[in-house]
Amino acid sequence: MNYPTIALASSSPRRRELLAQLGVNYELVKADIDETPLPGESAVEYVQRLALAKAHAGLARLTTLLPVLGADTIVVVDNDILGKPTDFAEFRQTMQRLSGRSHQVVTAVALVSPVRQLQQLVTTQVYFRPLTEAEISAYWASGEPQDKAGGYGIQGLAAKFVQRINGSYTAVVGLPLCETEQMLQQWQESL
């Protein structure tokens, strides 16, 4: 399938790697947005809003007429959104909440142009085994958790904490490839 060339509104190297797996030609576009949750906003509303906002912010910066892909991934436990940890204390608290139980990873993807938009939402259940304090400290010391939603990267060292998942592995990494490919096909077929 020949996908349209797109602009990717993301600074995530993981999203770039995943998009490359589909063989999609893309150019990067900066998309700085305010990621503060709105009062009363649910986790699903939040992640969908951010994906769409990133795509529209990228669209506003383009000088060409490419569709723009924006995505956002959040980790949710007990209806709380767990962001990127700002320090070890916050990270430790997050890992203690995830230890020995399941949580949701929710990824939203938006593909937009000035006249059209498509969106997808993928929720994956992730099950962590119980973690020791030593494991939590060692993982923090690795440097990997600092820029990750929920304080971990399933594709990295934290893979050893994951007992199982129910859903899309690539969505947990940051871009659900099955759903993204379907969006690109739908976009191409309607041109």
pLDDT per residue as tens digits for the range 140-167? 999 999 889 999 999 999 999 999 999 9
51: phi then psi, degrees, rounded to nearest 5: -60, -45
| Residue 101 DSSP code | S
Residue 142 lies in a domain: yes
Whether 1 is covered by a domain: the verdict is no
The pLDDT assigned to 43 comes to 97
1, pLDDT greater than 70: no
Number of domains in the chain: 1
Identify the residue whose tokens are 């059209």.
116
What CATH number does residue 184 fall under? Answer: 3.90.950.10
Mean pLDDT of the region 60-79: 94
Q: Give the range of the structural domain holding residue 128, as residue numbers without chain letter.
A: 6-189
In a domain, 30, yes or no: yes
Is residue 171, in this structure, part of any structural domain at all?
A: yes
As beta bridge partners, residue 120 has 109
The arithmetic mean of pLDDT across residues 92-105, rounded, is 98
Active-site residue identified among 32, 34, 72, 80: 72
Q: What is the percent of the chain with per-residue pLDDT over 90, rounded to a whole number?
A: 92
> Is 117 within the bounds of a domain?
yes
Which token pair is 84? 């990127």
Gap between the Cα atoms of 61 and 152, Å rounded:
31
Average pLDDT score over residue span 126-138: 98
Share of the chain above pLDDT 70, in %: 99
The answer to whether residue 32 is catalytic is no
